[in-house]
Chain A
Amino acid sequence: MEKPFDPTEQLVLKFGDIFTRQTTKDDMLTLWLPLERLKEVLFFCKNDLRPTYKFLYDLTAIDERPRKREPDYPSEQFTLVYHLYSYDGNQFLRFKIALKENALSAPSITSFWANANWYEREVYDMFGIRFEGHPHLTRILMPLTWEGHPLRKEHPARATEMGPFRLWDEKQDREQHALQFLPEDWGLQRHSEDSDFMFLNIGPQHPGTHGVIRLVLQLDGEDIVDIVPDIGFHHRGSEKMAERQSWHTYIPYTDRIDYLGGVNNNLAYLLSIEKLAGIEVPERVKVIRVMMCELFRIASHLVWYGTFAQDVGQLSPVFYMFTDRERVFDIVEAITGGRMHPNWFRIGGVAQDLPIGWEKLVKDFLNYFPKRLKEYDNLVMRNSLFKARTVGIGIFTTEEAIEWGVTGAGLRACGLEWDFRKKQPYSGYENFEFDIPTGENGDCYDRARVRVEEMRQSLRIIQQCMENMPEGSYKADHPLTTPPIKKHTMKDIETLITHFLGVSWGPVIPAGEAMVCTEATKGANSYYAISDGNTSPYRMRIRTPSFAHMQTVPYISKGYTVADLLSILGAMDYVLADIDR
């Protein structure tokens, strides 16, 4: 990778010396800036800075109050964090703003960044920070009737801290009432000049949504006038849970974020932790991880493939594809002992070495699967009815995709050749030969084509892993590797103590912050890990691709029909747990 470009100079030239620099473990340029300049700085970064930072990658906040801080740390109570990304410069930029508890409000940037909308609502929901000028600042993940803001440190994390749950009649009525959709709240009309609109709930329980999400459709006949997505039904507070788990015991929770992506989640989490801990993993670990990730990418894409075909009414493919997914899981099971949620990567390595005979399993699959992919092409991709339902449906351009924070196959389908495995290689992806498939039209069909091709590329990577698996240890020789290496524990008291603490408390990850962006099965996924030198994370921000993708649905579905909406949702490949976390 070329040396990262430093835009600080330009910023200082434009705005004066208002920035404070913070060094972080991930070497991402991190600048503090005063609240009142926030909007203009971000606007400048998006439009006039060279290179431009067009992509609002993430927006979140931190409750800093009980944090053990460095004396020169600029924030004492709340911090807003903006992650920007530049496709031109291939680099991230992190802005932080200190907020006071008695004035929890910031200007909204929704006026020039479309995808800030949901992120700002989430921050409001979780921290109670208000955004002035936001078009619809309401709770997004928690129920509208919720009291308190869950990611504040005073909010309880466990049900047992909250007293037994009761649902008396009046409360039930209140909850029911809160779920009622009132078009006026969203600025939607009930009638047009010549017709009455119908408001149709797709979900929370619906065969076409693949999970609990509610899309309120404003319909004129069967044409979609507008959509209001209602998310949060699958919200389990993963970010909050991180704050009471040890660094090690949080790994199984990550499995369940994108529950089709399996170890891809582990990897995104662990790369950040290993950055914080300063662990350099052995080559063998890297290659094992890459192989497992690609197997899971295939497994995840197969689920998408089958269910997408089912969404447009084709009954059979889903059965073939789930059968093939079982074959992937056979390999996963032989290696990890688990299937969908193997919880198998560890801080500084993986749980065990590869079992004897793993090559044969992988080789059999590599021989078997390409033929099946060809068959599926004939069955699905070349089917003219399938094309009729997907070609030209749900189109967005590269600019729109970037504006809305679309990553992964959706972005590549617009023609932008962008894959974080290639552009910001992690875990040794730079050593593998593979192509980034792209589309041209940015419609549902192209998104499908890109994913199908990605499976072929994943096979290539797996083949290279199999042929070039390095010898060596499956764990890094580092005191923070968990569970720690036991080699010297019986000879050396210091190692014994470290081992004992590492196993009983869990590792103590040094204070700092780090984020590594990975190309997960559905798009860019990362864990922004903040440690204050404790046995559990101080704050764990999970940036998931599906959240951003779901936010685009109203924008790209307007003017299409109900049937098209199902094509759009199917082609998007989202997982509810990945949206709600």
Chain B
Amino acid sequence: MEKGGLHPMIIVGVVLAALLTIAPGLIWLERRMLALWQDRYGPNRAGPFGVLIVLADTIKLFFKEDWIPPFADKFVFVVAPAIVAITVLMSFVVVPFAPGFVVSNINIGILFFLAMSSMGAYSIILGGWASNNKYSLLGAMRGAAQMISYEVFMGLSLMGVVLMAGSFNLQDIVYAQRGLWFVVPQFLGFVIFFIAGIAETHRLPFDIPEAESELVAGFHSEYSGMKFGLFFVGEYLGITLISAVTVALFFGGWLGPAFLPPVAWFALKTFAFIAFFILLRAALPRPRYDQLMEFGWKILFPLTLVNLLATATILLWMES
């Protein structure tokens, strides 16, 4: 633990409270921003600018009948949505929001993050499988293939950063960017990481496991009420996570001119990426599942390797 830091439990409380406010806030934000880009109003009735729409939705979800299809595998069906929320929240444990403001400053932060996001794939696979529905099954199969493949590039794309910082600890990585943000030397790594991040959060254009116009709602077709709500919140937490990690790894984390406190810098940068996520959703169609896999294995994979190799070579050359 960082000396002189806050008590970890306080940090956990603050982070959890912040995240659980941000995720619903994002839902509102996304709907308003999409509306803005699509020449319509979006939610504007409940509360000022419609901000209370999420509250209304949550109340609705809580009071909905908590229906479990009789043909589903009950236990797995119930557990699956919890997995997504838990794994994403756990990942935040290693994200440094400001100097010393991190729940657990472990020295294998990146590995922990990758492990947790891999675990997230289980929620899709199990949820789709347990639903015992053909659409869910197709969605789950797509999801499994997509997430496991993109896991590979995601991990590899970060290795350049790890090499440059010489650490798996996210806080150290942020400190290592004091001179120059890693986005400059590791631009390729950043692009690949971000693309893989979209695939990991299965957001449009890579929302292939859900693919509304093809698979109705894909892996979560059978979910309703708060179980669906957990998938939903999990998705938005996922966006926040990927954005936060991108900021920490490539955009200098909390670093920035002193007129704003570090946390504010971190939040601002993260927000910019979240907005970019939403813009992508407004702009792009979705590729076909096999095209996505092809893109991954034939383009991204070689590129990550080249990036890793080049980074390693240059670092070794500079040292010698």
Residues of A within 8 A of B (CB): 198, 200, 206-208, 222, 309-316, 319-320, 323, 383, 385-386, 388-389, 561-566
Contacts and interface: CB of A to CB of B under 8 A. Distances in A.
Contacts of B289: 222, 561, 563
Given A320-B38, A385-B205, A315 B281 contact: yes
A77 B142 CA distance: 57
Contacts of A222: 138, 142, 289
B207 to A, nearest CB: 7
16 contacts: A309-B285, A313-B204, A313-B284, A313-B285, A313-B286, A314-B284, A314-B285, A316-B34, A319-B40, A385-B285, A385-B287, A389-B288, A389-B291, A563-B211, A563-B289, A564-B288
Q: Binding site of B, secondary structure by majority: helix, strand, loop or mixed? A: helix
Contacts of B214: 208, 562-563, 565-566
A310 B38 CA distance: 13
B138 A323 contact: no
Contacts of B213: 207-208, 310-313, 566
A11 B286 CA distance: 54
A309 B284 CA distance: 10
B7 interface: no
A325 to B, nearest CB: 13
Which residue, of A561, A563, A564, A566, has the highest number of chain B Cβ atoms within 10 A? A563
Interface string B21-40: 00000000000001001111
A383 B287 CA distance: 11
Nearest to B288: A563
A200 B134 contact: yes
A198 B141 CA distance: 14
Contacts of A315: 34, 38, 204, 281-282
A214 B281 CA distance: 29
A311 B290 CA distance: 17
Contacts of A208: 213-214
A291 to B, nearest CB: 27
B216 interface: yes
A465 B254 CA distance: 64
A312 B135 CA distance: 17
A24 B213 CA distance: 47
A563 B282 CA distance: 20
A561 B291 CA distance: 12
Given A200-B134, A323-B39, A565-B214, 13 more contacts: A206-B216, A207-B212, A208-B213, A222-B142, A222-B289, A314-B283, A314-B286, A315-B38, A320-B39, A385-B285, A385-B287, A561-B288, A566-B213
A320 B38 CA distance: 7
Given A208-B214, A562-B138, A316 B291 contact: no
Interface in B19-64: 34, 37-40
Contacts of A323: 39
Contact of A312 (B39, B138, B286): B286
B290 A561 contact: yes
A383 B213 CA distance: 19
Q: Rank and list the top 4 A-B pairs by shortest CB-CB distance, nearest first.
A: A313-B286, A314-B285, A319-B38, A208-B213
A563 B135 CA distance: 12
Contacts of B207: 313
B134 A198 contact: yes
B44 to A, nearest CB: 16
Contacts of B134: 198, 200
Nearest to B35: A319
Contacts of B282: 315-316
B11 to A, nearest CB: 37
A472 to B, nearest CB: 41
A318 to B, nearest CB: 9
A28 B204 CA distance: 54
A240 to B, nearest CB: 34
A319 B39 contact: yes
A383 B288 contact: no
Nearest to B38: A319
B284 A383 contact: yes
A222 B205 CA distance: 19
Interface in B210-227: 211-216
Nearest to A202: B214
Interface in B231-284: 281-284
Contacts of B40: 319
A564 B204 CA distance: 17
Nearest to B34: A315
Contacts of B142: 222
